[in-house]
Amino acid sequence: MTAPPKFDIQWVYKGWVNAATTLLAYQWKLFDAQYETGLKMMKAALGVGPPDKPASELPAIDMVQQLQRQAAERISHGLAPPKEIYQAPFRGQIDWGKLPEWARPSDPELFEGSSHEG
């Protein structure tokens, strides 16, 4: 009579451990992506924290000053300020107190931190 073959069960356990680890790793990546998306949405909605854009993408201070000079010049001639002054990258940096009431947006803080151009 022959002896029953020895069956090494360790390879089965290793296979199940690898499968479970891979499954949990992908679930963790999915959870992390959802968390990061939600966090960015909340930061944008609440206007909390620094923007996620690199400094090179943010409007330069001299551009804001140039826009303010153009606006003052156009207003002195009775014209409306340039439309760029009302757009999102510059709206929060403009000193609205220097412009007459009719040239100011209705409420600059109303659209602060949103993608709406107002």
pTM for the complete prediction?
0.40
Q: 118 or 27: which carries more pLDDT confidence?
A: 27
Domain boundaries, the chain: 11-52, 55-111
Summarize pLDDT for 3-53 with one digit per residue, the tens.
666 667 777 788 889 899 999 999 999 999 999 999 888 888 887 765 555
Please report which helix (H) or strand (E) contains residue 89, including its range.
helix 88-91
Give the span between the Cα atoms of 71 and 76, in whole angstroms.
8
Q: Which residues contact 82 (CB under 8 A, 6 or more apart)?
A: 67, 70, 71, 74
Output Rg (C-alpha) for the chain, integer angstroms.
Answer: 29
Name all contacts of 53-57 with Cβ < 8 Å and 24+ positions apart. Answer: none
Q: 1 or 76: which carries more pLDDT confidence?
A: 76
The predicted pLDDT at position 35 comes to: 92
Summarize pLDDT for 87-115 with one digit per residue, the tens.
877 777 888 888 888 888 776 566 666 66
